[in-house]
Structure 1
Amino acid sequence: MIHRIIYWFRNDLRLHDNEAFLSATQIAQEVVPVYVFDPRQFEKTKFGFRRAGALRAQFLLESVLDLRNRLREKGGDLLIRVGKPEEIIAELAEQYGAQYIYTSKEIAPDETSVETSLSKNLKVVNVDIKLFWMSTLGNVLDLPFPIAKLPFDFDDFYEALKGDIRVKTASPEPEKVTLPQGYEAGLIPSLPMLAIDPMEVEHSKSDTSPPQKGGETMGLLNLSTFIENTIKSGQTLVSDTPIIDYGLSTWLSLGCLSQKYIYESLLPYAGNNQVEKVIFDLLKRDFAHWTLLRHGSRLFKPGGIKHEINKRWLNDLPLFEKWTTAKTESEAVNKVITKLISTGTLTIAERIVAADYLANELGLNWTWGAMFYESFLVDYNVAGNWFRWNNVSGVGSK
């Protein structure tokens, strides 16, 4: 049996259906759970807003705190550090004499760059890293085609998959977490420790819409409430309204909820239209993820996954600032941007209204708008956000 494994939590801030963490607790005598706050995620962009804004940061802090509390219930704890994960995880591996690093696999360029750097640093201390695929309903190998032949449009993807959806059983929570002696968990940072003024949150808060609270506990409660009030009650779900508008996407964004767990929780009610609608939405999230895996960095470029290199976009900062400060000529757009800044939440229809205006009415560089959404949307997930902006801007699938 392996003596010690460091488990690096990333966008999987949960104990339910966490195959990687469960595996670590089963194969190692001791596990060192770790979360690293990367200051680079909160730095300001060239436009003045942060990569991850104050409301997103607050939701993350709440989610990490909840994870720590749940680990403590299992006899464990969560080691907290602030810095570059690729350096800190390697240092911890040497400090604790770990044989392996276990963590979830990410596919966006920034995250994979960190993985590559960490892998190089671990070779110096002779420690291996094991990556687990946990972001979708199924594994890439479960798709009925190689990723290189991923359909360009979601409709084709759905037609190929709907009769053969392969979803493994959700993993149970570990029964117990055993820590090494002398474990020093450290403090969860405050907003100022992440160079964020707490007033940024206060200025963002809306009196009429209290912010959603982060963490697995609230995510599971929200799912239970959704099933009780929407699925069991037979409430009709609007056909073109995704799970974003029913609140589940907020906890999915940091992995406080698992897609597989949602799918499994709905199986007892299979056959009704509401359940089929949610599964459809989960597959749409998966398709964005597979599109990122298939097309890589093209998803983040002005030409998009269509590689529209001849399409020209305006790089007009004053015009962009009117959009970001809700001072455009469109009252509908201004209302959406004001809501985004004050609450961190938007319906899918609202996201499309503001995005369509920026890209297709103003002709502005749509990647700027995608960065703005990245900063302010509390339920931001990299694949879904950039995939949707590709499509609205006419450089994606549909």
Structure 2
Amino acid sequence: MDTAVVWYRDDLRVEGNPTLANAVDEAEHVVPVYVFDPRRRGETRYDTEKRGAHRARFRRESVADLRESVRERGGELFVREGHVEDVVPSVADAVDADAVFAQTKPATEEISREHAVRDALGDDIPFHRRLTHTLYHINDLPTPYDRIDDTFTPWRKNVEETTPVREPVPAPESVSTPDVDAGEIPTLSSMGIDEPPTDDRAVLPFEGGETAGKARVNRYLWEEDRLREYKSTRNGLLGSEYSSKFSPWLAAGCLSPRWIHEQVKQYEDERVSNEDTYWLVFELLWRDFFQFQFLKHGDDFFTQSGIRDVEPDWKQDRQAFRQWAAGETGVPFVDANMRELNRTGYMSNRGRQNVASFLADALGIDWRWGAAYFEEQLIDYDVASNWGNWAYQAGVGNDSRDGFFDVLAQAERYDADAEYVQTWLPELDPLPPEYAHRPWQMNADAESTYDVVLGVDYPEPMIDVTERFSELRDQ
């Protein structure tokens, strides 16, 4: 064919991208285009924003980096604003395209936009879609996605035993694009988004783009040699060293999971192969599982009752939700994690489990409010991973928990010296660890000694935490 349009979505890379590679192989000229669709920001039905400032900044940086990568190959990334079903067909018509290539994703909004673009293109312009967001290709699964097990472990074992991971496709050496107005990458302010705050307490600066993502992989695996300790350190809370933190680049598609898998296998060949190195692949499998589960269950993941069709009596307490979101619950481990999220767009996996459990289990508030707030704030938001994990914690999803996270015991286990809590709640810095985690246990003399007054310097707890956890244990 003469000309193909490549509609970029959440696959903002040139390495390990079959959508781009296939288009370059099949067409003489390629028109890569990214569309800033206003529907990917703005207010949701949960009174949250679809995309907050941290993720908006990361996305803009990722698009800019992709443009540079395409330019290095002699081409151009065309940037437009508008509804994708208007913009993509318009671009295809302007360049007299013979086909459109695009990433496909499993969630309902993403699928509906894909269908809208296909319908607008009509029958004259073929639409070629590629699943580029998963480690395993859907056509290689031993069981069709609509019949896969809803429990992770049997699915994982079956896939590991029967299915090889495809090798990542190399980046094209050159990209030939026609002479079309490239368009400007919109600024945050032009999109009505404030610049996100910066904070030197952040675990990483999280610069968007494939270049920065590969640099993080190189640093974590090869320069600092940390993969050998991945599993044993992944529950950390402070600093860049704990966990890989590849998730923001995976979520935006700046890194291919197959490319990361290849890097892990090379590391195992050249350095060490142990339970820690395997565990990173294990986490990629969890990510895949949720992607395929969303293909299977669709909209059910966004209902109160989830895929298990259970009906807990969720509260609709907006004031309590706002306290949780602002990190003003009076429970330090919860508040520290939420304040880190609000300031940086990131939170550890350990923190996510605890704050989700506190909202859904301890407060009994509709879990979807929390999932929507994470969608707004998280720099590494991925629709399937986010909503799948929240449903899991709320007891309405896959492998759902029957228990809860005791945030007090968790704090004392994973933050024994209260360093994390006091990093994000400096008003508690004068307190010894036992009071930093349970400030309500201070009497008047202790408040005077440490010059920290509950209800003045730090909020009183919004619930009797000890009593509530006792009730949950008895249920």
TM-score, normalised by the number of residues in structure 1: 0.94
Which residue is 1:173 aligned to?
171
Alignment of 1:255 onto 2:253: yes
The answer as to whether partners of 2:250 and 2:257 remain within 8 angstroms in 1 is yes
One-letter amino acid matched to 1:116: H
Which residue is 2:199 aligned to?
206
Q: 1:302 aligns with which of 267, 288, 304?
A: 304
CA–CA distance in 2 between the matches of 1:341 and 1:7? 34
SS at match of 2:161: coil
One-letter amino acid matched to 1:279: V
SS at match of 1:187: coil
CA–CA distance in 1 between the matches of 2:166 and 2:26? 20
SS at match of 2:6: strand
SS at match of 2:5: strand
| CA deviation vs aligned residue, 1:126-163 (integer Å, no higher than 9, x gap) | 21211011111122221111222211211111222222
Q: What pairs up with 1:123-162 in 2 under 5 angstroms?
A: 123=122, 126-162=124-160
One-letter amino acid matched to 1:184: D
Query: Which stretch shows the higher mean deviation, 382-391 or 223-232?
Result: 223-232
Which residue is 1:329 aligned to?
330
Alignment of 1:235 onto 2:235: no
SS at match of 2:109: helix
Q: CA deviation at 1:239?
A: 7.8
Query: Which stretch shows the higher mean deviation, 155-164 or 87-96?
Result: 155-164
Q: CA deviation at 1:318?
A: 1.5
Q: Structure 1: where are the runs of 5+ without partners?
A: none
Which residue is 1:218 aligned to?
212
The answer as to whether partners of 1:31 and 1:177 remain within 8 angstroms in 2 is yes
SS at match of 1:238: helix
Which residue is 2:17 aligned to?
18
| CA deviation vs aligned residue, 1:157-196 (integer Å, no higher than 9, x gap) | 1222222332111101101111113x11011100012111
Distance 1:280 1:230, change over 3 A: farther
Q: What pairs up with 1:351-362 in 2 under 5 angstroms?
A: 351-362=352-363
SS at match of 1:245: coil
Alignment of 1:192 onto 2:189: yes
Distance 1:348 1:217, change over 3 A: same
Query: Which stretch shows the higher mean deviation, 310-319 or 295-304?
Result: 310-319
CA–CA distance in 2 between the matches of 1:46 and 1:107? 21
Which residue is 1:285 aligned to?
287
User: Pairwise CA RMSD of aligned residues?
Assistant: 1.9
Larger Rg: 2
Distance 1:250 1:231, change over 3 A: same
CA–CA distance in 1 between the matches of 2:129 and 2:157? 30
The answer as to whether partners of 1:12 and 1:255 remain within 8 angstroms in 2 is yes
One-letter amino acid matched to 1:117: A
SS at match of 1:130: strand
CA–CA distance in 1 between the matches of 2:301 and 2:242? 21
Which residue is 1:389 aligned to?
390
CA–CA distance in 2 between the matches of 1:114 and 1:10? 11
The answer as to whether partners of 2:229 and 2:277 remain within 8 angstroms in 1 is no
| CA deviation vs aligned residue, 1:67-106 (integer Å, no higher than 9, x gap) | 0001000001110111111110011111111011101111
The answer as to whether partners of 1:285 and 1:384 remain within 8 angstroms in 2 is yes
SS at match of 1:75: coil
The answer as to whether partners of 1:239 and 1:277 remain within 8 angstroms in 2 is no
One-letter amino acid matched to 1:97: D
SS at match of 2:306: coil
The answer as to whether partners of 1:38 and 1:82 remain within 8 angstroms in 2 is yes
Distance 1:322 1:233, change over 3 A: closer
Q: CA deviation at 1:323?
A: 1.2
| CA deviation vs aligned residue, 1:242-283 (integer Å, no higher than 9, x gap) | 999321111101010000001111222153323211111111
Q: What pairs up with 1:375-386 in 2 under 5 angstroms?
A: 375-386=376-387
Query: Which stretch shows the higher mean deviation, 349-358 or 322-331?
Result: 322-331
CA–CA distance in 1 between the matches of 2:378 and 2:153? 26
Displaced runs of 4 or more, over 6 A: none
CA–CA distance in 2 between the matches of 1:233 and 1:361? 35
One-letter amino acid matched to 2:365: L
The answer as to whether partners of 2:230 and 2:244 remain within 8 angstroms in 1 is no
Distance 1:236 1:83, change over 3 A: closer
Query: Which stretch shows the higher mean deviation, 236-245 or 140-149?
Result: 236-245
Which residue is 1:29 aligned to?
28
CA–CA distance in 2 between the matches of 1:238 and 1:374? 28
SS at match of 1:267: helix
SS at match of 2:232: coil
> Which one has more relative contact order, counting CA pairs under 8 Å at least 6 apart?
1
Q: CA deviation at 1:295?
A: 0.9
| CA deviation vs aligned residue, 1:97-133 (integer Å, no higher than 9, x gap) | 1011101111111111111111111017x21211011
One-letter amino acid matched to 1:26: D
One-letter amino acid matched to 2:181: E
The answer as to whether partners of 1:244 and 1:250 remain within 8 angstroms in 2 is no
Aligned residues: 390
Q: CA deviation at 1:229?
A: 4.3
SS at match of 1:163: helix
Query: Which stretch shows the higher mean deviation, 57-66 or 313-322?
Result: 313-322
One-letter amino acid matched to 1:212: F
Distance 1:233 1:135, change over 3 A: closer
One-letter amino acid matched to 2:353: I
Percent same amino acid at aligned positions? 32
One-letter amino acid matched to 2:260: I
